[in-house]
Amino acid sequence: MTTPLRSASHFQLQVDGKLATVTLNRPDKKNPLTFESYAELTGFFRQLQYDDAVKAVVVTGAGGNFCSGGDVFEIIEPLLSKDTKGLMRFTEMTGDLVKAMRACPQPVIAAIDGVCVGAGAIIAMASDLRLGTARAKVAFLFNKVGLAGCDMGACAMLPRIIGYGRASELLFTGRVMGGEEAERWGFFTRLCAPESVLADATALAGEIAAGPTFANDITKKMLAMEWAMSIEEAIKAEAVAQALCMTTQDFRRAYEAFAARQKPVFFGD
């Protein structure tokens, strides 16, 4: 059993009861990622698979911005001297962060304000829910630096969030998507005031964390698995998944609370 991570060196981590809050904390540079922060974030999300205490995660950035992507001088510049093998190691490493976020059973809610570009936009995309502000600036700007839009799963995931045509435009042009457009297109779940976006995301995470943990885990897994299924396969898979949920004590508690005209309290078993 892996010991759950409760402190971090390359981002700020706060665990309060059922909630973990990850804060990208380099506000002087708009919270860019480094090789070290990539690795530590990936390790954190991987360990969440074995963490029974944390039920939901909030990801945000310090200083009025979410994340400006990979640090130009600490990541981009060193990449220019790497050979193909070294570059493959890097791109696989960055993709591992998305895989870890998608594999962890806890719903991940992003609180997005200000700059959210490059790998920062990918972290937002990889989250299960995204709350943003009108002044947020989201850009998958790989095209702007001579790279393809197919970075860290963007060509697979972004069309499923906002649609093929809209995703194609953003990935081919690298243009900025403003907060109101992001909400209108479905990238943001809703818009919040800058001063309340983190509190709103935390409140939503708390609401989810108070729900049936096993069932939420199943929902996240099925949302991912059913991308590659036919309708017939999905219905069969959901029948199995729902039957498993019906074996939990949370399902029984919900019935008993309904019968007693009370609000159910879930314990994740």
* Residues 167-192: tens digit of each pLDDT: 999 999 999 999 999 999 999 999 99
CB 121 within 8 A of CB 115: no
To which CATH superfamily is domain 12-209 assigned?
2-enoyl-CoA Hydratase; Chain A, domain 1 (3.90.226.10)
Phi, psi of 63 (to 5 degrees): 75, 25
Residue 75's pLDDT band, with cuts at 50, 70 and 90, is confident
Query: Which residues make Cβ contacts (< 8 Å) with residue 154, sequence separation at least 6?
Result: 122, 125, 140, 142, 167, 171
Q: Is the dihedral of CA 171, 173, 175, 177 positive or negative?
A: negative
Q: How far apart are CA 43 and CA 82, in angstroms?
A: 24
Q: Residue type for 73, please?
A: F
pLDDT at 3: 56
Q: Residue 2 above 60 pLDDT? A: no
pLDDT at 16: 95
Q: Residue type for 185, please?
A: W
Query: Strand 115-117's sheet: what is its strand order?
Result: 115-117, 137-139, 177-178
Query: Strand 190-191's sheet: what is its strand order?
Result: 12-16, 19-24, 56-61, 108-112, 129-132, 190-191
Domain locations along the chain: 12-209, 213-259
Query: Which residues make Cβ contacts (< 8 Å) with residue 36, sequence separation at least 6?
Result: 9, 10
Q: How far apart are CA 151 and CA 170, in angstroms?
A: 13
Q: How many CA atoms lie within 13 A of 188 on its CB side?
A: 26
- Name the pTM for this structure: 0.94
Give 146 or 6, the one with higher predicted confidence: 146
Q: What ranges make up the beta strands (E) of 169-208?
A: 177-178, 190-191
